[in-house]
Structure 1
Amino acid sequence: MTNFIKSVDERTNLAGTNRLELLLFSLGEDMQTGREEVFGINVFKVREVMSIPEITQAPDMPASVEGMISLRGHLIPVVNLAKFCGLQIKEPPKIMIVTEYNNMMQGYLIDSVDTILRLDWNKVKTPPEMLSEQMGGVVTAVTELEDNRIVMIMDVEKVLADTAQDTSKEQWFNDVAAAEKREATIFFADDSLVARKQISRTLDHMGFTHVSANNGLEAWNKLKDIAQRAEVTQKPVSSFIQLILTDVEMPEMDGFVLTKKIKADSRFDGIPVIMHSSLSADSNQNLGKNVGADDYVPKFDPTHLSEVINKNLEGDVKQLGNK
């Protein structure tokens, strides 16, 4: 396992360009279906793969959280993913993936790891509604392997929200900065249902109108429609939307490609684009700079997000990386 851990650690530090690297893993054989489903998580979110350490039980934890571990000075929750997904697995989990995203660490108990798969984002699709409902909404995207197996990419924002962050409470949004520029319309794209709800609540607290899309390709098509409507009415696009907020990881078209397309289209001149992602490493922020993003905000801090939105709407910002 040592060589495999080294491979994961090395690839986690890679800065890809418009491609996705997935760590494929299994939760074990489901006793109800007899199948061993394949799941995937972005390698950029994986810190290491390790044997399961001693877990300390803690009170008042969700049912899928086995407890806490201390790892190099960090106290992190450990989630049994099979329990979280509502699966009845024959054997107990054997190893743990240590993840870091949204500026938080979690341990995921799983059965086994398979390989690292590199693929184009256009091969990653939105899951069928039936599959998403069957897995309790935890699947945010799917892709098909050459051997016809389906890989289910997990919505890590949902796992984090349901096990570590209670973003449903109103006090989570108490410090959201009020809108400094009134009557603005914000366009945002995110494939995670949890993230879309979080963003919507933030914008509602700010008093903004908002329009959303579920992935990058849908966002680009909607933005082109808005631009065409602007041309017909002989108005600038900025009279319809005043800011664009985009996730990075999205099926069919990622946020880097979406941002590049927006910045290459003169019809969107003057409209700031903010990247909003659980991938908060410097390498990802540098990629955002390279495609022309005006700002990059790690998920999910509604107060920080509202402050950055206000700053960009007021025009008090230079392009990302040149501040």
Structure 2
Amino acid sequence: MAGILDSVNQRTQLVGQNRLELLLFKLNNRQRYGINVFKVREVLQCPPLTSMPKLNKLVRGVAHIRGQTISVIDMSMATGGRKIEDIKNAFIVIAEYNRSVQGFLVGSVERIININWEAILPPPEGAGKASYLTAVTEVDGELIEILDVEKILNEIAPAREVVREDMAEELAKHDASLDDKIIFIADDSSVARSQVKKALSSLGLEIEAAKDGREALERLKEIASETGDVTDKVGVIVSDIEMPEMDGYTLTAEIKSTPELAKLHVVLHTSLSGVFNQAMVKKVGADDFIAKFHPDELATAVKKWLDKSAEN
């Protein structure tokens, strides 16, 4: 298990080709779940956990790993299941989301699979708003569920979603030519879409959202067919990177290679972080990269590109 992620750096060429690799794991039953390898720092057998006062009930304790104190979240409890009892034989997936490092307690960790984003599909419509799924896929005839980790983390430690009041007043000032423009959002997480909408509402413009890259691309092309150039209607698009059917890198590349969409400013907004992603931003032609989730930073970045739209 210690070497399961040893070759992760050799896999970076998958990103930008609408492909990803999932680390498969189980919780308390036979159901398999997946997490993007690029979110994962390390996988290790669960070390002793230290209880601390006033921890959220979903946090089983903290682990001291390589000089860092990491909260360990029971992923079974976090998704409405029973707690993982046999901690000594369980594993921790150390992952980085939204600029912080967490430990996810899981029953077992299995293998890494290579898959195309087109094979990652939205959860069934019947899953409902209470579902913790952000996507599903099929491997060897078995359903793999991909959890909405951002929803889980937001329930444990809710993020500030609105821009500071003093900043909001400044951001609301914009060129009159932008009054009829919309801000477009593409994100597969319902929690993330809600957060982004609230953060950008301070800009005072209409906001439209899509659940994945393919849906966003189709809608942008539809707008372009009505106007001749998508920027006649859309001021900027804020897109997640990890999305079913078409990821944000591929969406960006499609936008920049399509004449009627090419002038659109693309801001990639993702819980993935690091130097590698900065390089990918340049490779696919995105205009900016903002790590999730800081409402002031996001709104300021979007305002910058809206202002540039007004200048053009």
Fold match by TM threshold 0.5: yes
Matched residue SS, 1:251: coil
Matched, 1:58 2:55: no
Q: In the aligned structure 2, how far is the partner of 1:62 from the partner of 1:11?
A: 37
Counterparts of 1:70 and 1:190, CA distance in 2:
33
Is the 2:235–2:264 Cα contact (8 Å) retained in structure 1? yes
**8 A Cα contact 2:220 2:261, kept in partner:** no
Superposed, 1:41-190 pairs within 5 Å as 41-88=35-82, 91-93=85-87, 94-131=90-127, 136-146=130-140, 148-167=141-160, 175=167, 178-182=171-175, 183=179, 184-190=181-187
State TM-score, norm by structure 1.
0.86
Deviation (angstroms), 1:40: 0.3
Letter in 1 for 2:218: N
**Which amino acid in 1 is paired with 2:264?**
I
Q: 1:208 and 2:205 equivalent?
A: yes
SS at match of 1:119: strand
Equivalent residue for 2:261? Answer: 268
Q: Give the secondary structure class of the aligned counterpart of 2:49.
A: coil
Letter of the structure 1 residue corresponding to residue 183 of structure 2: I
Q: Counterparts in 2 of 1:229-248, with a 5 A limit?
A: 229-231=226-228, 236-248=229-241
Of 183-192 and 103-112, deviating more is 183-192
Is contact 2:40–2:95 with CA below 8 Å preserved after alignment? yes
2:311 is aligned with 1:315? no
- Which shifted more, 246-255 or 261-270? 261-270
Of the three residues 277, 291, 301, the one matched with 2:284 is 291
Cα deviation, 1:119-161, whole Å, max 9, x if unaligned, reads: 111011001033355xx42210000012x11111111211221
Conserved? CA contact 1:12–1:44, under 8 Å: no
CA contact (8 A) 2:160 2:295 kept: no
- Identity among equivalent positions (%) equals 37
- Hey, what's the Cα distance between the residues in 2 that align with 1:313 and 1:121? 30
The aligned length equals 301
Structure 1 position 27 matched with structure 2 position 27: yes
Matched, 1:4 2:4: yes
Letter in 2 for 1:16: V
Q: 1:76 to 1:164 in 2, by over 3 A?
A: farther
Q: For each residue in 1:285-307, what CA deviation from the matched residue of structure 2 results, as whole angstroms up to 9, or x when unmatched?
A: 21121111011111111111111
Task: Report how far residue 280 of structure 1 moved.
Answer: 1.2
2:223 match = 226
Secondary structure of the structure 2 residue equivalent to 1:3: coil
CA distance change for structure 1 residues 196 and 150 in 2, over 3 Å: closer, same or farther?
same
Distance 2:6 2:205 in 1: 46
Matches of 1:262 and 1:221, distance apart in 2: 11
Give the SS at the match of 2:183: strand
Q: Structure 1: how far apart are the matches of 2:60 and 2:11?
A: 26
Q: TM-score, normalised to structure 2's length?
A: 0.89
Matched residue SS, 2:243: coil
- Cα RMSD (Å): 2.3
Of 19-28 and 263-272, more deviation after overlay is shown by 263-272
* 1:105–1:90 distance in 2 versus 1, CA, 3 Å: closer
Query: Helix, strand or coil: the match of 1:268?
Result: coil
Residues in 1 aligned to 2:264 and 2:174: alpha-carbon distance in whole angstroms: 14
Say if 1:160 and 1:254 are closer, same or farther in 2 by CA, change over 3 A: same
| Residues 220 and 230, structure 2, Cα contact 8 Å, conserved in 1 | no
Deviation readout 1:207-248 (Å, 9 max, x if unpaired): 2211100001110111111011113xxxx4322111111110
Q: Specify whether residues 10 and 241 from structure 1 end up closer, same or farther in structure 2 by C-alpha distance, changes over 3 A only.
A: closer
- CA 1:247–1:267 in 2, change beyond 3 Å: closer, same or farther? same
Q: Does the Cα contact within 8 Å between 1:190 and 1:250 map onto a contact in 2? A: yes
Counterparts of 2:264 and 2:217 in 1: how far apart (Å)? Answer: 14
Contact 1:12 1:46 in 2 (8 A): no
**Matches of 2:278 and 2:159 in 1, distance apart?**
27
